[in-house]
């Protein structure tokens, strides 16, 4: 409360000092106070002009023309020819609610004070100028927002305000504002944003991104910054592709990274960048500064499965219930897991019941942690009118903990479909697809 009172007192004091300074200057020079500091009052517009020409009539003429030049600027179009006679003879302009209300001559200099009705002025402004004033108002509001954001260490919203102001100027002029000044301010903001990694652990794929303002002794943390996190993930077919998601820095200016998505590659890198659409930015210098904040973290996640390895026992069956000699599904499954650095042991384990297969695996592979047992069968083969073969698969797959004997996952819903004119290729694609699909399902549990 004391701080608020102090601020109010200081404001009153500064205002009083300003008024006192004007009064003292007026008393010393003899110049009227309104000529030193233009008056302000809601609903009114004031104009002040002066001239020290040798001839009195010439002084008055120059003042009228200067006042009309100021009025023209305020209206957005030239009015000197329209209103000169009325102003110079009557000292008023009725259409604008304007009149000369005071004048003074000091040491050969003539001063005039005119006042006008702001509402009448606004009604006479050109549409183009009204639009310009609107642009200026919007830009002024953005500047005020930018100042508040910057005070609160929200540098990205500060930058966005400056960019928005620059884009408004693409619509047309806005008084004395220039596009360059806002782009320069935005570029300076981006230039001072720095990324740094801490608590880096490549073996677990964890780190903390720190975003700060590299300016001043304190280097304040940048809060609420949108961060684009880009990682590599694998899909159901075993292919890898880039995937990006957004994070927001917390009150410490940090983003914590860890493996949030089961299908994220265990070996790879993560890229952190500012989530700003640089292609839409109107400045190459600004784009460059934003892109240069990017930082990359390389990791190689070493899981228990990767260290110990995993046992898989797949078998493939035809539509008549006969076991096939092929290993398409297990080959695809193994290939999928090995991309993530997981060692896979391919085993043949006889048995029709899970308990029987589990006991055999526990005895033979005591040093391993997990068993994946799968039996997949081919359904009836159909031949279409175009000569293509069409068939589907059906089966079940179990993930078990060899140490505890617990069944961790059981799947009997996954199916694959294959078709084409070449039967051998159709058969291979059928079981290969099943193996890849199962691998993509099970990796989330490993």
- Proportion of the chain above pLDDT 90, given as a percent: 53
pTM for this model (two decimals): 0.61
Write out pLDDT tens, residues 359-370: 999 999 888 888
Which pLDDT band holds residue 278 (cuts at 50, 70, 90)? confident
pLDDT in tens, 155-204: 999 999 999 999 999 999 998 899 999 999 999 999 999 999 999 999 88
- The residue that leads in pLDDT, 337 or 382, is 382
pLDDT of the residue at 16:
42
Q: Residue 379: exposed, middle, or buried by beta-carbon count in 10 A (0-12, 13-18, 19+)?
A: middle
pLDDT, position 141: 95
Q: What is the pLDDT of residues 314-361, one digit of tens each?
A: 999 999 999 999 999 999 999 888 877 788 888 888 888 889 999 999
Which residues, in sequence order, are CB contacts of 252 under 8 Å at separation 6+?
Answer: 210, 221
Query: Which pLDDT score is estimated for 20?
Result: 52
Q: Which long-range contacts (CB under 8 A, 24 or more apart) does 150-155 make?
A: 150/189, 152/223, 153/213, 153/220, 153/221, 153/222, 153/223, 153/253, 154/222, 154/223, 154/224, 154/225, 155/189, 155/192, 155/193, 155/213, 155/222, 155/225
For residue 130, what pLDDT is reported? Answer: 86
Q: Are 296 and 197 in contact (CB under 8 A)?
A: no
305 pLDDT band, cuts 50/70/90, is low
- Give per-residue pLDDT as tens, 87-114: 999 999 998 899 999 999 888 889 999 9
CA distance 161 to 178: 14
pLDDT band at residue 151 using 50, 70 and 90 as cut-offs: very high
pLDDT exceeds cutoff 60 at 34? yes
Q: How many residues does the chain have?
A: 446
What lies within 8 Å, CB to CB, of 422 at 6+ separation is 389
**pLDDT value at position 236?**
57
| Average predicted confidence (pLDDT) for the chain | 87
């Amino acid at each position: 409360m004391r701080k608020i009172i102090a601020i109010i007192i200081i404001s009153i004091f500064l205002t009083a000092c300003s008024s006192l300074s004007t009064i003292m200057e007026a008393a010393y020079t003899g110049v009227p106070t309104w000529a030193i500091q233009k008056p302000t009052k809601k609903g009114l517009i004031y104009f002040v002009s002066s001239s020290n020409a040798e001839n009195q009539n010439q002084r008055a003429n120059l003042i009228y023309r200067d006042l009309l030049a100021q009025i023209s600027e305020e209206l957005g179009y030239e009015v000197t020819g329209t209103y000169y006679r009325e102003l110079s003879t009557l000292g008023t302009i009725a259409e604008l609610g304007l009149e000369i209300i005071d004048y003074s001559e000091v040491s050969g200099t003539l001063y005039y004070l005119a006042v006008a009705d702001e509402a009448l002025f606004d009604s006479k402004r050109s549409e183009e100028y009204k639009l310009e004033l609107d642009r200026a108002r919007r830009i002024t509001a953005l500047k005020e927002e930018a100042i508040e954001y910057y005070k609160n260490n929200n540098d990205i919203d500060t930058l966005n305000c400056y960019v928005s102001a620059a884009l408004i100027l693409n619509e047309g002029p806005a008084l004395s504002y220039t596009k360059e000044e806002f782009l320069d301010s935005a570029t300076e903001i981006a230039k001072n944003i720095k990324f740094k990694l801490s608590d880096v652990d490549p073996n677990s794929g964890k780190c903390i991104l720190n975003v700060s303002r590299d300016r001043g002794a304190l280097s304040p943390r940048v809060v609420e910054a949108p961060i684009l996190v880009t990682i590599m993930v694998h899909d159901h077919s075993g292919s890898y592709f880039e995937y990006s998601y957004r994070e927001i820095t917390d009150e410490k200016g940090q983003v914590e990274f860890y493996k949030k998505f089961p299908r994220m590659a265990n070996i790879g890198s993560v890229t952190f960048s500012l989530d700003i659409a640089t292609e839409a930015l109107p400045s190459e210098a600004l784009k460059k500064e934003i892109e240069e904040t990017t930082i990359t973290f390389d990791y190689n996640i070493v899981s228990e499965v990767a260290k110990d390895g995993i046992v898989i026992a797949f078998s493939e069956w035809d539509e008549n219930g006969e076991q096939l000699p092929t290993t398409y599904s297990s080959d695809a499954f193994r290939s999928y897991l090995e991309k993530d650095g997981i060692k896979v042991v391919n085993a043949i384990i006889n048995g029709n019941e899970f308990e029987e297969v589990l006991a055999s695996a526990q005895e033979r592979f005591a040093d391993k942690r997990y068993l994946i047992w799968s039996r997949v069968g081919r359904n009836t083969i159909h031949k279409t009118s175009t000569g293509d073969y069409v068939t589907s698969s059906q089966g079940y797959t179990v993930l078990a903990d060899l140490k505890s004997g617990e069944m961790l996952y059981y799947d009997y819903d996954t199916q694959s479909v294959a078709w084409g004119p070449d039967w051998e290729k159709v058969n291979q694609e059928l079981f290969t697809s099943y193996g890849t699909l199962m691998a993509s399902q099970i990796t989330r549990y490993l």
